[in-house]
Structure 1
Amino acid sequence: MKVLCLWYATEDEISYIKGAMPEGTEVVAPKGDYLSRFDCAYADVEHLAADAEAIIALSVPEGVPEVAQKLKVFSWLHSGVDDLRQMGALALFKQRGVKLTNIRGANAVAVAEQAMMFVLALAKKTLLKHEALQERQKPFPIYADEYRSAMLHGRTIGIIGLGQIGGRVARHAKGFDMRVVGVRRNKGKPVEYVDSVHGVDELSSVLAKCDYVVVATPNTVETNQLIGKAEIAAMKPSAFLVNISRGSVIQEKPLHEALTSGRLRGYAADVWWTYGFGRAFPAGSGSRLAVHKLPNVIGSDDQAANADDVLQRNIQWGTQNLLEFATQKPLTREVSLDLGY
């Protein structure tokens, strides 16, 4: 089997994949200049993709799925596959019978830690108090509403999406003696560390009970724009909202209105909106309404998984997917091409 790495893989990375696969496996990667492992030029891989039976990838140059006529399995080194869906790859894979796998859970530890960092930073007004210290401002009025920290102990945290990331957030929250409620597609399946599990149809009633809400759901057709005006209106004005899912799961304009009107206490995110409406509105990312610049907002730009151990685990788990396929074992991380996760 010929395996194509869709990044400018190092010799060590190529050797690792080859060593993990059955004898006789060919592992190839493009040669060229790059800035990161997410860079890969179509011109550098077109000739390699034509007869590749397996692809392992961090990104996909437009046109590669179409020329990979012999492709049988695609190992995606991410959890969400919305990028593949948007470029038409999921439909193409379904048409050709290509198996798709991901590495769901590989970055769960890092992303869940980032989520809890956001919860704590919002609650404790970390940036505000750090900046005050740097500027040598006078001490804040003790116990005044504007400067007093929020507590986690005894409070309720709602987790939207109880996959491996959401499940770890629940575990961390219990360490702070929080009540944990969750929302998931399959509400009948209990989750460790979650006090009660609810369906999506109960979302508004769950939000009304929460002091903190962490959005960790996959971005699918069903969850796109999930949190809008009605859902935000259901939340407590004292609540904090954290997004570690995808920017498009939360509607931008209602969120901005809630944060600037006092309807919502604070927001934190590692993920933001992306825009691309053709020539009339150039492609870009961030927040058109400058949500990220509001005083009650903190964030990072897709950095939650940029942590120790994550890259190595990504490649290891992605290679395991290919090994399972090559040895005709069940694909433990196969993605449903219909559901998108």
Structure 2
Amino acid sequence: MKSVSKLVTNINPSGVVKVLIFGGKPGLINEECQRMITAVSPNVQLQEVTEWVNADRKGDFTFKEQLDALLAEAEVIFGAVFPRDITARSPRLKWIQTMNAGVDIVLDTDIMQSRVMLTNASGIHGPPMREFVLYLMLMHAKQASLSFQLQREKRWEPFTPEMLYSKTCGILGLGKIGDEVARLAKAIGMRVMALDVRRMTKAKYIDVMLPPEGLRVLLSESDFVVIALPLTPETTGLIGEEELHAMKPTSYLINVARGKILDEEALAQALKEHWIAGAGLDALSNEPLPVDSKLWELPNLTLTPHVAGRSPHVIVALTNLFCENLRRYLNGEKLFNVVNKKKGF
């Protein structure tokens, strides 16, 4: 986790810090996790209002009066999703801790132009996501879909699976998630290439480190291309028709980042016409994926409903991060994972 040099100043004269939780899914931050938060200090007053926020986001203003009253007093928010016009409705708000590593959900909101401190959950989702990337790579290398088909059809027809050992794994984005993927890929004997805009120091588990200008090199040499980038104006639509054509016809594309980084129309054509061998997508531009999407029908595509970062252990780890940052906030200390709003990560 990274910290910043600027100290957070808590000047609430009453000493009481009102914290709101917007979990995205009611009950995500359960009673045990809420007890962990309130145990940080007797001055913390906590309220979970996920259902009210979800209603507000859908244009249902049944609870608007109650929600506005709480927002008007809130100093800290721990959230996965956020209500409309949050900073205008929260004049006392000083700090938002998001529940995701990426902050694209707030890129086009008033939060990014405000003076409210924004921290993310970078580092929390790395372990489950590295395993999920490995799972998607193995699904294709070991022809899992063929195995499932043979079992359904009661056919005993041996085939020859591929190995990951000695293959090249190209990673776009070497943040906490990309770094975890690189470590695991190297541990199983893969050659690891990585591209990152912020980092050029080559760790011992990375064979080739490239700047952004090296994208075509990475695409042309990789057997598995893993997208682990944050969604920013610069990365939106980064992988399109030209980039897919630059990949090997035997290669696979895996996206566990954000759907809008990838041109899904171009990917559908690439898979149908076999520009590449296959793909695994855990992140889509439109979620849930519309039932009429052509992606559903592609046999060389593995789709999962944005679950790569989920685990029974993640929520506790996420709460621990928030509790540590909350303790630091109350003590006027540096916070972990402060987002650079200009860069979007």
TM-score by length of 2: 0.86
Give the superposition deviation at 1:3.
Answer: 1.3
Aligned-residue offset at 1:289: 4.4
Q: Which residue of structure 1 aligns with residue 157 of structure 2?
A: 139
Q: Does 1:50 align with 2:72?
A: yes
Question: 5+ residue gaps in structure 1?
Answer: 143-147, 276-283
* Rounded Cα–Cα distance in structure 1 between residues aligned with 2:248 and 2:86: 47
2: CA distance between counterparts of 1:4 and 1:335?
Answer: 20
Unmatched segments (≥5 aa) in structure 2: 1-16
Task: Determine what percentage of the aligned residue pairs are the same residue.
Answer: 27
Asked if residue 205 in structure 1 is aligned to residue 217 in structure 2, the reply is yes
Matches within 5 A, 1:289-300: 289-300=293-304
One-letter code of the match for 1:57?
Answer: G
Give the whole-Å Cα distance in 1 for the aligned partners of 2:242 and 2:30.
Answer: 49
5 Å-filtered alignment, 1:53-92, equals 53-91=75-113
Deviation at 1:138, TM superposition (A): 4.2
Which stretch shows the higher mean deviation, 284-293 or 320-329? 284-293
Q: Is the 8 A contact 1:76 1:318 kept in 2?
A: no
Compared with structure 1, are the counterparts of its residues 87 and 128 closer, same or farther at alpha carbon in structure 2 (3 Å cutoff)? farther
Q: Is 1:251 matched with 2:255?
A: no
Correspondence for 2:282: 270
Match of 1:120 among 133, 138, 150: 138
Task: Say whether the 8 Å CA contact 1:272–1:287 is kept in structure 2.
Answer: no
- Specify the alignment match of 1:17 in structure 2: 37
Alpha-carbon distance between aligned partners in 2 of 1:73 and 1:14, rounded to the nearest angstrom: 18
CA separation of 1:259 and 1:287: change in aligned 2, threshold 3 A = farther
Query: Residue 28 of structure 1 aligns to a residue in which SS?
Result: strand
Q: Does the CA contact (< 8 Å) of 1:4 and 1:29 recur in 2?
A: yes
Per-residue deviation, residues 49-82 of structure 1 (Å, max 9, x unmatched): 1111111112212233320111011111111111
Q: TM-score, normalised by structure 1?
A: 0.87
Single out whichever of 110-119 and 4-13 deviates more from structure 2.
4-13
1:273 and 1:286 in contact (8 A); partners too: no
- Answer with 106-115 or 180-189: which moved more: 180-189
Residue correspondences, number: 320
Equivalent of residue 314 in structure 1, options 301, 304, 318? 318
Summarize deviations over 1:2-31 as a string: whole Å, max 9, x none: 2112245544333211112x3422222338
User: Aligned pair 1:185/2:208, yes or no?
Assistant: no
CA distance in 1, matches of 2:332, 2:252: 46
1:176 aligns with 2:188: yes
Q: Which residue of 2 aligns with 1:29?
A: 48
* Aligned counterparts of 1:101 and 1:34: Cα–Cα separation in 2: 20
Across the aligned residues of Structure 1 and Structure 2, the Cα RMSD in angstroms comes to: 2.4
Q: Report the Cα offset of residue 89 of structure 1.
A: 2.5
State the shift of 1:115 in Å. Answer: 0.7
Q: Match for 2:20: what amino acid?
A: L
SS at match of 2:322: helix
Query: Partners of 2:290 and 2:324 in 1: how far apart?
Result: 34
Asked whether the equivalents of residues 101 and 321 of structure 1 are also in contact (C-alpha less than 8 Å), the reply is no
Counterpart residue identity of residue 3, structure 1: V
Distance 1:310 1:317 in 2: 10
Task: Provide the secondary structure at the position in 1 that maps to 2:73.
Answer: coil
Does the 8 A contact of 1:216 with 1:244 survive in 2?
Answer: yes
User: What residue is the counterpart of 2:129 in the other structure?
Assistant: 111
